[in-house]
Structure 1
Amino acid sequence: MRYSSADLNRKTILITGGAGFIGSNLAFYFQENYPETHVVVLDLFRSNITLSNGNLRSFGHFKNLLGFQGEVISGDINDTALLSKLKRDYQFDYIFHEAAISDTTALEQDLMIQTNVNAFKDLLDIAVAHGANMIYASSGATYGDAPSPQRVGREAPQNVYGFSKLMMDHLAHKYTKKYDHISIVGLRYFNVYGPREFFKNKTASMVVQFGHQLLAGKNPKLFENSDKILRDFIYIEDIIQANVLSMNPKENGVFNVGTGKARSFQSMVDILQNELGTSLSCEYIPNPYIGRYQFHTEADIESTRAILGYEPRFSFEEGIAAYVPEIKRLFEQEL
């Protein structure tokens, strides 16, 4: 489905983190809807390099791009020589910046700030030089433990990841004040789930993780009182919609991207059981993260509606139903 009436054919689009979850979905959106668009994917494809918590530094995976016919570049956004080459050898019309150290449990503050904040400034300089509109991934993590509904201007990040995203938002605001020939939009994603997230491993959504537990015949393990632990879960198609609507916005700014409705982890498992035809008993375990755990997130999306024209299309039930065939395929072919 097209989310914009703009003619994007023959435009050149850079997608950083394009072999990751959201970036790869964007790449295929443009390939399928605007086949004459030149899409350049830049990604630090996965290697055996891990962070101190044991998780991979990069989740980019070639399988997320199977069928993609655009240009693929393997590289690190911290590589200034690479960014200089992009600035010199290309002429981008739009930049979708999805690359980041996105692991909220990462302890490497230096790498987080370098990758998420400093490299973002270099990419903003490319956008300015090329006259390219910038759409970048901010995060609901900027809100930390702020009460629901979470609103722009009420940030309280609780980890370095959320802090880095908030610093990106401040940097973007300074650029919009200084340069008026491009637009810059930050999108604060809430809890995203859907196809092409599988290779995020342990940081993939609990939708796919619970789905695979159920398909394996395992009782799903939930924290105690999971009917009272709520998140704003958003299906990937609505994330793509928000990104495309941000390409030529009425105003610059930072916008929440969620459904505006909080749903429980218990409801997630119940919907999955209904879709998969299982009836396994849930096992409830103590929550070891009390005191540093969000119990309720719900995006205020009024400005996103008013300025971007965004309207979430998928309820939690509809998103999971759309996702189930892919969850089954992954279980059969990857697990």
Structure 2
Amino acid sequence: MKFNDEKILITGAAGFIGSNLAHYFDKNYKNTKVLALDIFRTGETFSNGNLKSFGHFKNLKGFSGEIVQADITKPEFLKILKKFKPDIIFHLAAISDTTVLDQAVMIETNLNTFKPLLEYCRKNGAKLIYASSAATYGDAKVPQTVWECENPNNVYGFSKLSMDYMALKYIEKGVHVVGLRYFNVYGEREYFKNTTASMVLQFGHQILAGKEPKLFEGSDKIFRDFVYIKDVISANIKSVFTKKCGVYNVATGKPRSFQDIVDILQKELDTNYKCQYIKNPHKAYQYFTQANMQESKEYLDFEAKYTLEEGIKEYIPEIKRLYKEEVDV
């Protein structure tokens, strides 16, 4: 797979996945011109107390491409889009906090901003790769399959499912659009997601602090499809070159328990703390997620390379660095 002087726009580029994409192109494709766009954080919060933006400048430290601050809900964003004239758009900007209850803000930010991007691509022959989510499935039966039994539990999942439906209409018009339903992503540059960062990172920092890991009761029976960030980047790149556009799962297809995460971390960190088991306070909760990866393998040529053990092992040095430089200060 090669890129030849393309102009690439990454929205949400100071966030978790967006920043990893920005650094990927910066490192591997110096001939591309990348515009990293993000609203960046301001300290403003939602009613749940969480930040309105997780974008952080530290995620883009070392990136040599162009960086611009902009809000995708404002007219200025469309001006930037039309002036830059990207050939490929990786659209990661969104409210990704599933606990945000403000439905109007969620729909405005995630859904209303999507159609102008689709229209730009239709008119200019550009390619659009965007972030969908496993939250579109809600409590659907496993393995979760695209276009089967989607039933989102929150407005975030609803907004992403609505984006998927909109994308289909443009695919039918011949526009190159690929939606990627991310399952539980973990890895480098997720720290600034704060409380919404993966439990891999959160458990890791609990253990490094010398605390007993806190898990919900029955965590050995609560399963998630955890996928490492490097596999997620691979899925994005493959989406640019697929001959069959659509919506695809990005996961391993092999669910693991939260207990597995703690056990792997304790092995890698050489600890043996006794776990604390607490009651699950959440009324709406997914107890089992597993992606059906058949179409992702067939049409994207995507298959996760990292097992949970391999991903955590590679992530450990970064977990330690973050604890030393960001947490234990």
Which residue of 282, 299, 302 corresponds with 1:307? 299
In structure 2, the partner of 1:23 is: 18
CA shift at 1:252, angstroms?
1.1
Post-superposition shift, 1:248?
Answer: 1.9
2:191 and 2:202 map into 1 onto residues whose CA distance is 9
Distance 1:127 1:277 in 2: 50
Residue of structure 2 aligned with 1:217, choices 210, 216, 222? 210
Q: Which SS does the other structure have where 2:241 is aligned? A: coil
What percent of counterpart residues are identical? 59
Q: Residue 262 of structure 2 aligns with which residue?
A: 269
1:118 aligns with 2:132: no
Q: How does 1:61-76 map to 2 (within 5 A)?
A: 61-76=56-71
Q: Could you say which residue in structure 1 is the equivalent of 2:239?
A: 246
Which residue does the alignment assign to 1:207?
Answer: 200
**Structure 2, unaligned runs of 5 or more:** none
Deviation readout 1:229-253 (Å, 9 max, x if unpaired): 0000000000001000000212110
Q: How far 1:116 moved relative to its partner?
A: 0.5
| CA offsets 1:157-199 (integer angstroms, 9 cap, x no match) | 1100000000000110111122x2x310000000000000000
Contact 1:92 1:127 in 2 (8 A): no
Does the CA contact (< 8 Å) of 1:60 and 1:199 recur in 2?
A: yes
Total equivalences in the alignment: 326
1:279 corresponds to 2:266: no
1:32 aligns with 2:24: no
TM superposition score normalised by structure 1:
0.96
| CA-CA distance at 1:10 after TM superposition | 1.3
- Once the two structures are superposed, the pairs formed by residues 58-137 of structure 1 within 5 Å of their partners are 58-87=53-82, 89-137=83-131
**Corresponding residue SS for 1:246:** helix
For residues 273-293 of structure 1, the C-alpha deviation after alignment (integer angstroms, 9 at most, x for no partner) is 00011111100011122x511
The code of the aligned residue for 2:140 comes to A
Moved more, 121-130 or 223-232: 121-130
**Contact 1:78 1:115 survives alignment (8 Å):** yes
Task: State how far apart, in whole Å, the 2-side matches of 1:128 and 1:92 are.
Answer: 12
Residue 331 (1) aligns with residue 323 (2): yes
User: Is the contact made by 1:234 and 1:258 (CA closer than 8 Å) also made in structure 2?
Assistant: yes
User: If the length of structure 2 is used for normalisation, what is the TM-score?
Assistant: 0.98
Contact 1:226 1:266 in 2 (8 A): yes
Unaligned 5+ segments in structure 1 are none
Runs of 4 or more above 4 Å deviation: none
Distance 1:297 1:202 in 2: 20
**Contact kept in structure 1, 2:70 and 2:76, CA below 8 Å:** no
**SS in structure 2 at match of 1:92:** coil
